[in-house]
Amino acid sequence: MKLVLLAKSILLLTLTLCGTLLFTLVFRPYVSFRRPDSMARSFILWLHGRGDSGPANEPIKNLFTSPEFRNTDWSFPSAPVNPVTCNCGAMMPSWFDIHEIPIKADSPKDESSLVKAVQNVHKMIDKEIDAGTNPNNIFVCGFSQGGALTLASVLLYPKTLAGGAVFSGWVPFNSSLIDQISPDAKRTPILWLHGMDDGRVLFEAGQAGPPLLEIAGISCEFKAYPGLTHSISIEELKYLESWIKTRLQSSS
C-alpha cells in the first residue's frame, strides 16, 4: 500500500511539473535577446592617390573600431590606368590628368578629365543609394589626387551627403565651376587635412581651398599638421573617425 501511494505521489508531482513547464513555455511573454542596433547603414567611399590602388588602402578601415561603424560598408575602388602629363605621359593609375608636380595653388587644371572622373564617382554613390543607404550617411574621402576628386565629387553631386574628407588635396577646378554647385551640395560639410611639409601637393595649394569654399557658402574645417609630408598620419585618421562619428545618423 505504501509503495502504491508513493508511486501516485511521484506521478502527481511529475504531472504538476510538466504542466507548469508547458504553461511557462506557451504563455510567457516573448523576450528577444538580440542586441538592439540603433545605427543605420552607412557607407564610406575611399579614393586613393595617383599611382596607388584601392586594395592597398583597405587596411585604413581597420582603424575605425568604434561601435558606431558596425553597420558601415567601405569601398576602395582603383583608378583606371591613364597617361599622366606630369609623368611625361607614362601610363599609371590616375583618376584624371595632372599637368605638373609639385602642385601649387595656381597649377593648371584639367577639368575635362576631372568631370569624367566625377561622373564615375557619382555612379558609385548612386549605386549605394539604390541599395538603401541614406545620402545623409554617405561619406567620400580621399588622399592627394583622390582628395581633389573627393572635393569635386561631393560639391557637384546634386544631393546633400554626410561629408567629404580631403587629405593633402587641392581644388582641381577653376572658380567658374563653383556656379554649378547646387544649394543641396553646399550643405555637405568638408573636412580638409594637410601636412605643412608636403612637397608634392604644397601646403599653399591646400590653404587656398577653404577660403574659396567659404565664399561660396560651403562649410569647411581645415586642419594643418606640422612636420607631415605627403602622407596620411594615424593622427589624421583618428580625427576622421571622430569627425564621421558625430555625423552618423541613427535608424530611428
Which amino acids are annotated catalytic? 144, 198, 230
Residue 69 DSSP class: G
Q: What cell numbers appear for 115 in the block?
A: 568631370
CB atoms within 10 A of CB 163: 25
SS (H, E, C) the chain: CHHHHHHHHHHHHHHHHHHHHHHHHHHCCCCCCCCCCCECCEEEEEECCCCCCCHHHHHHHHHCCCHHHCCEEEECCCCCEEEEHHHCCEEEECCCCCCCCCECCCCCCCHHHHHHHHHHHHHHHHHHHHCCCCHHHEEEEEECHHHHHHHHHHHHCCCCCCEEEEECCCCCCCHHHHHHCCCCHHHCCEEEEEECCCCCECHHHHHCHHHHHHHCCCCEEEEEECCCCCCCCHHHHHHHHHHHHCCCCECC
Q: Measure Cα distances from 188 to 135, 159, 177, 192 in Å.
A: 10, 8, 17, 13
Task: Answer for the pair 207, 194: CB distance below 8 angstroms, yes or no.
Answer: yes
